[in-house]
Structure 1
Amino acid sequence: MKQHYFIGIKVPMHIAKAIVKERENTNVHKTHKTLPVAEDMHITLFYLGHVEQSILSSIMQCLRNIKWEKFELTTNELAHFGNEQTPRVIYTAVENSHFLHALQHDVVRQLSKVIEITNTKDFHAHITIAKKWAAVDELHIKDFQLPKMSFDVSHFSIFQINNNQSPRYEEIDCIQSRRV
């Protein structure tokens, strides 16, 4: 199997652990196949998929050209992608952030200098707590009561996906904020 990668923002461990702890108040462990561990909690900026090592090196270099300043994100309510009764992804949303959207746009702009960008879906910042519907049971998530939690974003990373390990996502490069 070919190695896959994505670009994302790692969720600080204290927030990731709080999300995983609160997830225990739901039944997603019975309704979904994949429940990310705290160490894997992140916000995806762009999914790369498979890229050759030479291209990956070029991507790492071009992402360093982005000038952006540290900003703050705040978690929001629980939400989902897909049908409400059988959602394919359940996630903790983050409050709308101009800075986050600008960073994601800049990431895509820089990537387009190195690779062909075909995935132009709207960007919906989220922290996945469960994915891949797998049940006949009803979903119960009303007891998920995560308070709003804020954190600073001073870097983003390129992650390698290791499907047969836990945690699955290995940080292979880190891009620090740079003053605009």
Structure 2
Amino acid sequence: MTKDPHYFIGLSIPKDIQDFLFSWRKRSEEVLPFKTWIGNGDYHITLSFLGSTSQQQKDALIEDLMKTADTHSGFDLQLSFLQGFGKPESPRVLWLGVEDSSPLADLQADIASGCQHLGFRLDQRSYRSHITIAKQWRGEAVFPSEIYGNNSIVPKDRLFFHVSHFHLFQIHLDRKPRYEPIHTFELLRRSGM
């Protein structure tokens, strides 16, 4: 087994939205028995999961991501509603959706292309932007389907946020928060900002 650290590239979520998500978690975890709930400070939107990465790979990646960031402007994102991966009655992952965004899709595609060019083996499934809330349903009863499509987790005045940068995150399984942003890549400022 490799000892190289594991990394991913992603978007951080503003603290006020993280706090709302964590508050919802605290109210919900008693009635929604998932094995794992994401902790405050770890909510994010993954752009590309890299896995084990050597120092040499990381150095080349950082140089490539700086070039990528210089070709994309900041943009706004809108959160949507709860959804699940896996069987609806026993979801493998409960997640909060992000409305379709061309700037996000373009940024993710350019990052993924650069990672593949550098030799990273990325997930081949189609990209779906989301914020993971919980993993592995453990309830004896089926998951309450009325929660799907629920858009009341985040108050309406917090549904939008501006993306001005993305990060290279290092994964730490032995501490919390688990995801440490170790390098930040600033996007171009939109004209008029």
Q: Following the alignment from structure 1 to structure 2, what is the Cα–Cα distance between the partners of residues 73 and 100?
A: 8
Q: Following the alignment from structure 1 to structure 2, what is the Cα–Cα distance between the partners of residues 28 and 128?
A: 18
The alignment partner of 1:132 has SS state of strand
Contact map agreement 1:70 1:153 (CA 8 A) in 2:
yes
For structure 1, the residue ranges without an aligned partner over 5 or more in a row are none
Pairing 1:152–2:162 present: yes
For structure 2, the residue ranges without an aligned partner over 5 or more in a row are none
Q: Following the alignment from structure 2 to structure 1, what is the Cα–Cα distance between the partners of residues 145 and 23?
A: 13
Please give the per-residue CA displacement for 1:80-111, whole angstroms capped at 9, x wherever unaligned: 10001110000110111011000000101211
Pairing 1:128–2:138 present: no
The alignment partner of 2:175 has SS state of coil
Q: Following the alignment from structure 2 to structure 1, what is the Cα–Cα distance between the partners of residues 171 and 78?
A: 26
Displacement, 1:37?
Answer: 1.2
Contact map agreement 1:26 1:142 (CA 8 A) in 2:
no
Matching residue within 31, 35, 41 for 1:39: 41
- Cα 1:28–1:129 shift into 2, 3 Å: farther
Pairing 1:18–2:28 present: no
Pairing 1:65–2:62 present: no
Q: Following the alignment from structure 1 to structure 2, what is the Cα–Cα distance between the partners of residues 162 and 60?
A: 19
Contact map agreement 1:160 1:169 (CA 8 A) in 2:
yes
1:70 partner letter: G
Q: Following the alignment from structure 2 to structure 1, what is the Cα–Cα distance between the partners of residues 177 and 169?
A: 11
Name the % identity.
32
Contact map agreement 1:30 1:137 (CA 8 A) in 2:
no
Q: Following the alignment from structure 1 to structure 2, what is the Cα–Cα distance between the partners of residues 16 and 162?
A: 19
Q: How many residues align?
A: 180
- Quick check: 129-138 or 146-155, which moved more? 129-138
